[in-house]
Amino acid sequence: MTKLTWRDVDEIGYRLFQQYPDRDPMAVRFTDLHRLVTSLEGFADNPSASNEAILERIQMAWAEYFHEPA
């Protein structure tokens, strides 16, 4: 499995969607999003290397998958 870093925004969004398909990403607080990302299998980056802009990009990537037609 490929190691994830904060730069892997789209892959993280996809994996969050796979793990939490019924959870609306727009209702997730950034503190909770940070916890969800760092607990993903394969996440191997420094947890403190994120910032609000990165978390927002991850949230938007997750939202794209969440709102895709089935």
Cβ count near 2 (within 10 Å) = 8
Query: Residue 3 falls within a domain, yes or no?
Result: no
What's the rounded Cα separation, in Å, for the pair 22 and 1? 25
Each residue's pLDDT, cut to its tens digit, for the chain (70 residues) gives: 679 999 999 999 999 999 999 999 999 999 999 999 999 999 999 999 999 999 999 999 999 999 987 6
Q: Is residue 44 part of a domain?
A: yes
Is 15 within 8 Å of 67 (Cβ atoms)? Answer: no
Q: What pLDDT is attached to residue 70? A: 66
Task: Indicate the angle between helix axes 9-19 and 30-38, nearest 10 degrees.
Answer: 90
Q: What is the pLDDT of residue 68?
A: 84
pLDDT of residue 12: 98
The answer to whether residue 58 sits within a structural domain is yes
**19 found inside a domain:** yes
Residue 1 lies in a domain: no
Q: Give residue 16's pLDDT.
A: 98
- Domain carrying residue 24: 9-66
Domain count, the chain: 1
**CATH no. for residue 28?**
1.10.10.600
The answer to whether residue 39 sits within a structural domain is yes
